[in-house]
Amino acid sequence: MSTPSLLHIFRAGTYQAMAGQSITLTPADLAATAAAYDPARHEAPLVVGHPVGNGPAWGWVSGLSADGADLSATPRDVAAEFAEAVRARRYAKVSASFWPPTHPANPAPGVWSLRHVGFLGAAVPAVLGLAPVSLADDAEGLVTIEADPLDFSSPADTPATDPEPTMPDPAAASAADPTADFAAREAALTALQTDLTAREAAIAEREAAAAAQAEALRRTEIASFVGALVAEGRLLPIEQAPLVALLATAPAEPAADFAAPADTGEPTPRAAAEWLRAWLQTLPVRVSYGEFAAPDGHDPEVARIEAAARTMAGLPPLESK
């Protein structure tokens, strides 16, 4: 039985992602990524570059493995024409794209999840020094394309006898019935398309459920963050609900695509929600909820001002003694 070759897709370290953010992934992060990877929830595709829509897929990642600081992917169902392009070194480098742990679409919230593996041509990956791209290695370590476009095993693992053909032999079919080969191929293609459509629908349904779960966790975290600022007195209670709604509608943290960004000379971009959170934490304490000793006697003017201040802050009035 053939053993699929591995793609060395990432190495632990600190990098600048395509969106400009500086991100550190440790060996422990990569181990968690590999352990949490589940093709049933999201099967990462092999793509060209870093497409926003995550496609088209030229193959799929069936599993991930972490070895210290290195993360490797096991490819499967690789299209024959794409394998030929890799063999010709038109795509000689790889660049991984991950969902951050708190991203709404992350299929495994809490860890860095592999979104896709991008094959690069002239673009420079942010992670340098990865092993050369190889979908199957022969004795000399070169890329080898097997007769079966979906089988990327090495020649040493190929059985001595020819496997049973999956499609009718053209010469034999033509001799018996000129239309038999065409009909068989069309039927096989129709069955394949039906299977792919069903699989894509199932993946979309699982991704939608995972996104809903991640969004619920994100909103809970936002409410906790704003609530802490109110408890510290930096925000007034009457400001709590509008700020929770504002942060919830702000764009989520962008996916981290590890390819070197173009040198435009512009400042490093920063997500709006990240900037707003940092600014809110710099606000001075505006309300103190501690107890104060009451002055001797009763001053109606002081009581009126205090009642007005509590109303503006959204606090209930003090009970009269």
Give the least confident one: 68-72, 198-202, 285-289.
285-289
28 band by pLDDT with thresholds 50, 70 and 90: very high
The arithmetic mean of pLDDT across residues 131-151, rounded, is: 33
- As a whole number of Å, the end-to-end CA separation of the chain is 86
Cβ neighbours of residue 156 closer than 8 Å, sequence gap 6 or more: 138, 139
Instruction: Pick the more confident residue, 55 or 276.
Output: 276
pLDDT value, residue 297? 56
pTM of this prediction?
0.42
Share of the chain above pLDDT 90, in %: 21
Buried b (16+ CB within 10 A) or exposed e, 143-174: bbbbeeeebbbbeeebeeeeeeeeebeeeebe
> Considering only CA atoms, which of 138, 147, 149 is closest in space to residue 82?
149
> Considering only CA atoms, which of 106, 134, 114, 105 is closest in space to residue 65?
114
The arithmetic mean of pLDDT across residues 31-49, rounded, is: 92
SS3 annotation, 255-270: CEECECCCCCCCCCCC
Give the least confident one: 31-45, 152-166, 228-242.
152-166
Please check the confidence at residue 143 and state whether its pLDDT lies above 50.
no
| pLDDT tens digits for range 249-258 | 876 565 666 5
pLDDT value, residue 146? 24
Q: What does the mean pLDDT of the chain come to? A: 74
| pLDDT tens digits for range 82-103 | 888 888 888 878 888 888 998 8
| Cα–Cα distance for residue pair 269/292, rounded to 1 Å | 45
Please check the confidence at residue 223 and state whether its pLDDT lies above 80.
yes
pLDDT value, residue 153? 36
Place of tokens 């000689």: 92
Instruction: Pick the more confident residue, 64 or 315.
Output: 64
292 band by pLDDT with thresholds 50, 70 and 90: low
Token readout for 179 is: 């239309």
pLDDT value, residue 108? 92
